[in-house]
Structure 1
């Protein structure tokens, strides 16, 4: 990483920014004028590719590794963002883990790993965000529309994201007086590598047919929602879960 000087731009941290929805969010926020810290867990090459894409289009970015479940690593990520850019205005916590299995078949070790990333990770990232976001800032977490849709096989994942929604709504109220919004985005079926993995064509086609708009969402669809929530037109949206799913009920 090449250290860059402090900037007058607003500054965003995007965890899980090396792929999927997080990647598109990082690129969209850079296009919106943010200096973007691309947080990643293990795939440095992918994160560096995102940074190059941002810089090639005139943006400002760097990649930094952190395990979202490790409070020391997350604190170091926030320290580095503040030291490099002078402060933090937006945190988008897109890092997550998904394990699909019927209740009776799920390995409990996988359950523990899922909850460490999705619940503990959200708490750790949000705790740092709550301490450090500047006035006028925004925190966006990620849930899933499966919390309401209750698809079989998604029990552990949906339960973890239900916890994310609870944390989001409570933190929004605890941030009273700080001029910082706290919301969650809950995508429906979205064409990412994580979502498509292990699904046959029939399953994908069935899920794509469910919304009245009759298609899967795209990472760009979700990035647009995040752009709204973190921009000037989203300042009156606070303590909400936005179900960005094309109208699935």
Structure 2
């Protein structure tokens, strides 16, 4: 076992290291797909546990000898975000297991944020409130880009949001393991926002706000964002078609 625990939670080391034993039997399931997310009570604190998919043979080796595992990167990047003042659930720990070949099971632990939604939840709001929220979200994105963060998985499901009693929106990024730390140009930053697959009235909102922040022409910025979004959406459709076709062929060959 390899692990690292945030010094703030070192007093919970025994309980944190019991997570792999408890994970399959306990906890509140909040997502099950390629990875699994559960909420567990650890030392009286609600924590979110992300159990990463068991890696295939190439990644077992790669995540042991050539690059850090997703769980370790999630922990390290979350700490970097905290240092930079970028919203993300507070990192608590990561835990890794290995066999003779390489990495097997891995877990990332952070504080659980309750009473929040993903950006998808904003679509339940009236149109004017959606516009207000996405303007705030654009400012949030521009801020972390200016701090040298390129959030590759910038999707509707990877940003948590909450509006406080004073009407201020707060945002937190999750699923950080593919983040890049680099200078983010205006064009690349806009391309990052094109990954959200939003309706045109929100692209208009984001484009105008981003232009204001960058001191660029609003019409040109909106036009570029719409074109980049269309290109991204087509790319996603092609990938989905190829993936579904492969699955269909496999089913026919091996059924």
What TM-score do you get using the length of structure 1 for normalisation? 0.27
**Structure with the largest fraction of strand:** 2
Greater relative contact order (Cα 8 A, min sep 6): structure 1 or 2?
1
Structure possessing the higher radius of gyration over alpha carbons? 2
